Amino acid sequence: MGNNNSGTITINLDRNDLFYFTNEIISGKVNINIQEEKLEVNKIFLTLIGEIGYTTTINISGGIIGAMVQTEYNHIPFYSIKIPFQKSKNEENKIILYKGKHSWSFKIPLINSLLPSINKPESFPRVRYYLEVVIDKPWYKAQGWERKYLTIFPHVNLLKNPQCLLSYIFGNSNKQDIHLRSTINKLGYVPNESINILLEIHNPQKVLIKHINLKVFQFYQIGPNTCQNILFQGILPKISNLKDERIKETFSILIPSNPIPPTYQLRGKIKGLVVVNISYMLRLTAKVEGIFTNINADIPIIIGTQPHPDLNQQATSNSSIVAYSLDTAQPMFKDDDDDDPPPSYESVVQTTMNISSFSL
């Protein structure tokens, strides 16, 4: 709630989750409670702002302590729409709001070409959206204001990229001649859908395979800043301390239902900023007895927002269901320390972007 000596401002939306897709309409009411006998203003308006934030560093030399590195916080607005509620005709004739409650309804249609919200609104780097109410008083510009943050995602329809709905085979081997092959039912998914994996291991020397780790990475790049997060992780069941020559198991991993920013690549420029990318990768790591013997299989996946024909598919009867919690970024089963470093952002983005270019 915005507060000042003149009164209070609130933005009440017609939905509670503050989550929107492009092409939807943001609607609600702005309420202002004037506490003075009357309030003179130039104008009252509501704006929807889309803003990119990223950091840069500059070297500052001089002084006794020598060179210093200073972080600069960049705020790049790329979208703005204003809804005026009240506006004075000229500087002499002010709008007078008398003591009490005042209310205005609003509707803001979202265009299709908006960037997805990324990261928390107060964090850097980020893409964020917010509604802001401004009361412009004489001599005190924007003295009263109220802000509400929204999450906005563009539609990414997997049906427009049929290649990501085909099954794929990925694999790798180590110096002990252990071969790991994983067949994934497809590369494109939406939240609350299962990833089905057939895992095959050929272990001719019958070396001890301790277990199989699974991690799903999120990569995003905003301007010069790159970040990577682990969305969820865990140890696959059934494969534990085995020396079998051949191992074959199927697994079904449920993607959390929480809103996840879709795979995205910005096409074009925003005030000189040309990079806003989001990509995802699934990594299977076989923990093998010995030194430098672990095996990684990296699988780029695509996160969309539109349902497709097999969205409601269920795991087969001989599959193990693995459940994850996105809220804590931790699995609902035991994990151990994984000393393998995550893949570089550049390597996975290059792979993923080759197969996941969408027209939004």
pLDDT of residue 325: 29
Domain match, 272 and 176 both: yes
Domain match, 141 and 239 both: no
Answer yes or no: is 358 within a domain: no
Domain match, 59 and 200 both: no
Contact 272, 110 (CB under 8 A): no
> Mean pLDDT throughout 323-352?
38
Domain match, 225 and 146 both: no
Hey, how many other C-beta atoms are within 10 angstroms of the C-beta on 222? 26
Confidence of residue 281 (pLDDT cuts 50, 70, 90): very high
Answer yes or no: is 223 within a domain: yes
d(CA 254, CA 295): 23
Domain match, 295 and 180 both: yes
> Mean pLDDT throughout 178-199?
92
Contact 72, 59 (CB under 8 A): no
Q: Which of 121, 153, 185 is the last residue of a domain?
A: 153
Hey, how many other C-beta atoms are within 10 angstroms of the C-beta on 50? 22
Domain match, 121 and 173 both: no
CA proximity to 175, closest of 288, 298, 340, 297: 288
CATH classification of the domain holding 16? 2.60.40.640
Answer yes or no: is 360 within a domain: no
pLDDT of residue 333: 30
d(CA 248, CA 169): 14
pTM: 0.79
Of 73-82, 155-164, 169-178, the range with the lowest mean pLDDT is: 155-164
User: What residue ranges in 188-314 does DSSP mark as E strands?
Assistant: 188-189, 194-202, 209-222, 225-242, 246-254, 264-265, 276-288, 295-303
pLDDT in tens, 292-309: 999 999 999 999 997 654
Of 42-56, 219-233, 251-265, 338-352, the range with the lowest mean pLDDT is: 338-352
Domain match, 233 and 100 both: no
Domain match, 47 and 79 both: yes
CA proximity to 107, closest of 53, 181, 27, 180: 27
Residue 87 reports pLDDT greater than 50: yes
The percentage of the chain sitting over the pLDDT mark of 90, rounded to a whole number, equals: 48
> Mean pLDDT throughout 324-345?
37
Residue with tokens 């089963």, as numbered in its chain: 333
- For residue 307, CA distances in Å to 153, 158, 189, 299, 347 come to 15, 8, 8, 21, 29
Answer yes or no: is 141 within a domain: yes
Confidence of residue 323 (pLDDT cuts 50, 70, 90): very low
pLDDT of residue 149: 96
Answer yes or no: is 281 within a domain: yes
Which of 63-67, 303-307, 330-334 tops mean pLDDT?
303-307
Domain match, 66 and 202 both: no
pLDDT of residue 91: 57
Domain match, 66 and 162 both: no
Residue 3 reports pLDDT greater than 70: no
d(CA 65, CA 28): 54
pLDDT of residue 319: 35
> Mean pLDDT throughout 31-55?
88
Domain total in the chain = 2
Answer yes or no: is 344 within a domain: yes
d(CA 50, CA 150): 10
Residue 119 reports pLDDT greater than 80: yes
Q: Which of 153, 178, 206 is the last residue of a domain?
A: 153
Domain match, 186 and 41 both: no
Q: Which of 101, 120, 153 is the last residue of a domain?
A: 153
Residue 50 reports pLDDT greater than 60: yes
Residue 313 reports pLDDT greater than 70: no
Domain match, 31 and 100 both: yes
Answer yes or no: is 359 within a domain: no
**Domain enclosing residue 200, as ranges:** 158-353
Tokens (6 digits) for 247: 């191992």
Answer yes or no: is 291 within a domain: yes
Residue with tokens 């994984």, as numbered in its chain: 338
